[in-house]
Structure 1
Amino acid sequence: MTKQLPPGQFETESWPILHQGDVYQFKEEEWSFRLFGAVKKETTLSFTEVMTLPKTITTFDMHCVTTWSKFDTSFEGIALKEFLKLIELEEDVSHVKIYGYLDGDRFGYSANLPLAELLGDDSLFVYRWMDKDRDWEEISPKHGYPLRFIPPASFYLWKGTKWVSGIRFMKHDEAGFWEELGYSMTANPYKEERYR
């Protein structure tokens, strides 16, 4: 089956590396994952606790706003819905912000997303990957090690936070890092929603 390339994109077999700020240097004893915002009780998990959660393997298509697309990359990770089992949301939660490290700030980077579109197996916090040219390997620090969010293919990849540190649950949409700089709030590559 031929893959549909979104408008303005070209296909690549490599996984280009683009990021904002310094590459985060993982220290397990300092790392934690926070579930907060519109929740009945905030929860913070250690790296060991995160890695004991049920795992999912999903094959993704990735579309970067810088115009490259990569098809059929497989990832192993923890689905966002597994984190939902650990908390009780308040009523009317509609969006999340997924945070990551930026130049030493645990919550310096963020991407906003609608929660309803993140409840399948194609919303993963990933730690290893493979494609037709390589067997399973850990994602590199430049790709977001130890944990990186990969969104469904209906979003440009800037919504895929590297070096993740937590999820904030929200009752309304709110701009993340790139959205505050003029990028699209919704970021659908098939509608070419690059900028506001």
Structure 2
Amino acid sequence: MANQLPPGQFETEKWPILHQGDVYQFDEDTWNFRLFGKVKEEITLSYSDVMNLPKTVSTIDMHCVTTWSKFGSSFEGIALRELVNLVELEKDVSYIKIYGYYNGDRFGYSANLPLEALLGDDALFVYRWKDSNEKEWEGISPKHGYPLRFIPPESFYLWKGSKWASGIEFMKEDEAGFWEELGYSMTANSFKEERYR
């Protein structure tokens, strides 16, 4: 599907900045990442714990529900599967919510996703990136979600990519996240133009 423009989208070379609420100001001393929900034992990771996990580099096309698409961005980060491997899931866990900071609340933002679709190289908690025409990597900016931002596979609209990520809740049943509660699609397939319920 690389460089395939979903219906209703236009291509941009820039990475537009869109978000709700305040830009989170990272403080390593207070920041942590929580793995919880339908797991045998919850885990809380420090920033250094997360950054010591195996890294993955992947090129992922991004498609925003506001109709822009950006092709060929490379990201370096921690594959979601590396975090899943740290916990023992209860039977029949099929969904997750990825949380992020929203106006000071570390669990104020969330996006729901099916777990099975996120176990490849194209579901990353990223901390740096580069465009296809750039040689040098750069850290993602605070406005793009520093220190850790989830980038979903290209089959999902980008609102599923939680900025300022703070944790993963493992669930047996699907449950609406921030934008889904406001009427956006639960499944958000960009190629099926699943924008709203």
TM-score by length of structure 2 reads 0.98
Q: How does 1:123-138 map to 2 (within 5 A)?
A: 123-134=123-134, 135-138=136-139
1:139 paired with 2:129, answer no
Identify the residue that residue 156 of structure 2 maps to in structure 1: 155
- Name the SS of the counterpart of 1:98 in structure 2: strand
Whether contact under 8 Å (2:56, 2:76) holds in the other structure is yes
* Structure 1 unaligned regions, length at least 5: none
Matched, 1:103 2:103: yes
Shift of 1:136: 0.3
Aligned counterparts of 1:167 and 1:98: Cα–Cα separation in 2: 5
- CA distances 1:117-140 after superposition (whole Å, capped 9, x unpaired): 000010000000001343200000
Quick check: 1:168 aligned with 2:169? yes
- Mark the CA change 1:2 to 1:187 in structure 2 (over 3 Å): closer, same or farther: closer
1:24-59 deviation digits (Å, cap 9, x = unpaired): 000000000000000000000000000000000000
Q: 2:117 aligned with 1:117, yes or no?
A: yes
Superposed CA deviations along residues 144-166 of structure 1, whole A, max 9, x for unmatched, are 00000000000000000000000
C-alpha contact 2:39 2:90 (8 A) present in aligned 1? yes
- Alpha-carbon displacement from aligned partner over 1:64-113 (angstroms, at most 9, x marks no partner): 00000000100000000001111100000010000000000000000000
| Other-structure match for 2:67 | 67
Higher mean Cα deviation, 181-190 or 127-136?
A: 127-136
Distance 2:85 2:110 in 1: 22
Question: How many angstroms does 1:23 deviate by?
Answer: 0.2
Pairs aligned (count): 196
Runs of 4+, deviation exceeding 6 Å: none
Report the CA distance between 1:2 and its aligned residue: 7.7
Distance in 2, Cα, partners of 1:52 & 1:190: 35
User: Normalized against structure 1, the TM-score is what?
Assistant: 0.98
Alignment gaps of 5+ in structure 2: none
How far off is 1:3 after superposition? 2.4
How well do the aligned residues superpose, as a CA RMSD in angstroms?
A: 1.0
Q: Percent identity?
A: 77
Q: CA deviation at 1:168?
A: 0.1
1:24 corresponding residue in structure 2: 24
Letter in 2 for 1:136: W
**Are residues 136 and 2 of structure 1, via their aligned partners in 2, closer, same or farther at CA, if it must alter by over 3 Å?**
closer
Partners in 1 of 2:41 and 2:80 — Cα distance? 18
For the pair 1:55 / 2:38, whether they are aligned, the reply is: no
Distance 1:133 1:178 in 2: 33
**Aligned match of 2:38:** 38
